[in-house]
Structure formats: C-alpha cells, structure tokens
Chain A
Amino acid sequence: DIQMTQSPSSLSASVGDRVTLTCRAGQSVSTYLNWYQQKPGKAPKLLIYGVSTLQSGVPSRFRGSGSGTDFTLTISSLQPEDFATYYCQQSLSTPLTFGGGTKVEIK
C-alpha cells in the first residue's frame, strides 16, 4: 500500500489567512491525488481530484498543486466554513490510501 503523510497534523489560523497544507506520498503517485474536507460528525466531501481539478461547487479559494510525491492544498483566504479536517488520498493504486489528515482550527 502507498503511504500518505500529511503535515502539519493541525494548525490554527484566522479568517482571511492564507493556509497551505502538505501531503507527501511514499512513492510517486504522479498526479493521482485527491483532497477531501471533513467537518465534525459528517462524511468527508470531495474538494479536489487529479491534484488540481475542483469538484463542482467548490469555491475557487481552494487550490491544489504538486506532482510525484509532494502536494499542497492552499486556501487563499480562510473562511469560517473552512474550519475542518482535510485529507489527501492517492488514487494511483488500490487501496486508495488516505493521509492522516490536517485539522484547521480557529485561532
């Protein structure tokens, strides 16, 4: 299985901040990288697939980048509804393993 590592595990930020989350794969996953957002008590929701393609309805303040083993999710201006946990997922090979998550908290 391909191991996925996210950093940091949590961060505190303020509304309006620019936030960058990092995901590293244990081996190259090319551009087969997805991001999900999960709020407490809810199922995860797809944000971005294929590194940088926004799922329908996802605000343009979310941006994904990277290739190979290193990827980032950037939120350009953090909004109150963005406080959540974010997971990356590789989709190069099954099982489609997840990273451990980054929790974005209010400062």
Chain B
Amino acid sequence: EVQLVESGGGLIQPGGSLRLSCAASGFTVSGDYMGWVRQALGKGLEWVSVIYSGGGTYYADSVKGRFTISRDASKNTLDLQMNSLRADDTAVYYCARVSVTRVYYIDVWGGGTTVTVSS
C-alpha cells in the first residue's frame, strides 16, 4: 500500500528548530516529486517546499533561508529541517506526493503533523 506518515511535530519556542520526517511505503521517494504543504488552523493550504524528481527545490518566500527540504534514500524518507521558527509557522504540515503524468496532482497525502511555535 502506498502511504506517507509524518513525524517530528511538536511545541517549540520561537527561534527554535524542528525536523519533520515523512516515511514513505509502497514507493521510493528519491524518484518522485514530493513536498510539504501546511495549513494553519482554520486556513487554507500552502506549499512550503518541494523537491522535484531531478533534485531541484522550491521554497515559499515565507520560509526561504530558514527551511531545508531533503530526501534520505536509505530510509525512504522526505525531511524538512525548520530553523528560526516563528509563530506564523504554526500549522499542520502535510507530506505529499505529486503524481507526474499528463496532469500533475497530489495523489498521496500523509495524515499531517502539528507544529506549534509558541513561548
């Protein structure tokens, strides 16, 4: 079964760091277009970061220079290193796989992990 399971969320003080991890099963993360989408409470969906199948990356302006996306082929995980966290980073973070066929769409979502940045 194709599945994504996130971990690593929690309560962190402003300025702190967290590392989110997304464990994939049923497919290999290293060959796929993967990313992190976040959703603040009561708000919409926002792409945080993407890593393309070729290794290129995208970061939302709001996280550029603070977050780093990476893949670990040995563990088959997608990771998100989050530094200098701010209150407005508080959200549920979803790991997502983008199906790359004739039309791109997110075909697999994780269940989400909650990040709360507060003192």
A binds B: yes
How long is the Cα–Cα vector from A82 to B47 in the complex, in angstroms?
25
Question: Is residue A67 within 8 Å, beta carbon to beta carbon, of the partner chain?
Answer: no
- In the complex, which residues 51-107 of chain A have their Cβ closer than 8 Å to any Cβ of chain B? 53, 87, 89, 91, 94-101
How long is the Cα–Cα vector from A32 to B107 in the complex, in angstroms?
15
**Given A49-B103, A49-B105, A91-B103, A44–B47 Cβ distance below 8 Å?**
no
How long is the Cα–Cα vector from A46 to B105 in the complex, in angstroms?
8
Question: Is residue B98 within 8 Å, beta carbon to beta carbon, of the partner chain?
Answer: yes
**Chain B contact residues: helix, strand, loop or mixed:** strand
**Closest Cβ–Cβ distance, residue A69 to chain B (whole Å):** 17
**Closest Cβ–Cβ distance, residue A19 to chain B (whole Å):** 19
B46 — which chain A residues lie within 8 A by C-beta?
Answer: 98
Q: Which chain A residue lies CB-closest to B56?
A: A94
B52 — which chain A residues lie within 8 A by C-beta?
Answer: 94
A46 touches B106 (CB 8 A): yes
B106 touches A95 (CB 8 A): no
Question: Is residue B10 within 8 Å, beta carbon to beta carbon, of the partner chain?
Answer: no
Q: Which chain B residue lies CB-closest to A96?
A: B104
A94 touches B111 (CB 8 A): no
**Given A46-B107, A50-B103, A94–B112 Cβ distance below 8 Å?**
no
> Among the listed A31, A50, A91, A100, which residue makes an inter-chain contact with B44, where contact means beta carbons less than 8 Å apart?
A100
B45 touches A98 (CB 8 A): yes
B27 — which chain A residues lie within 8 A by C-beta?
Answer: none
B60 — which chain A residues lie within 8 A by C-beta?
Answer: 95
How long is the Cα–Cα vector from A31 to B104 in the complex, in angstroms?
11
**Closest Cβ–Cβ distance, residue A4 to chain B (whole Å):** 10
Q: Which chain B residue lies CB-closest to A9?
A: B44
A96 touches B45 (CB 8 A): no
Question: Is residue B67 within 8 Å, beta carbon to beta carbon, of the partner chain?
Answer: no
Name which of A34, A45, A96 has the most chain B CB atoms within 10 A of its CB.
Answer: A96
Name A's B-contacting residues (CB within 8 A).
31-32, 34, 36, 42-46, 49-50, 53, 87, 89, 91, 94-101
A sample of 8 inter-chain contacts (CB < 8 A) reads: A43-B112, A44-B45, A49-B105, A87-B44, A94-B58, A95-B58, A96-B98, A98-B47
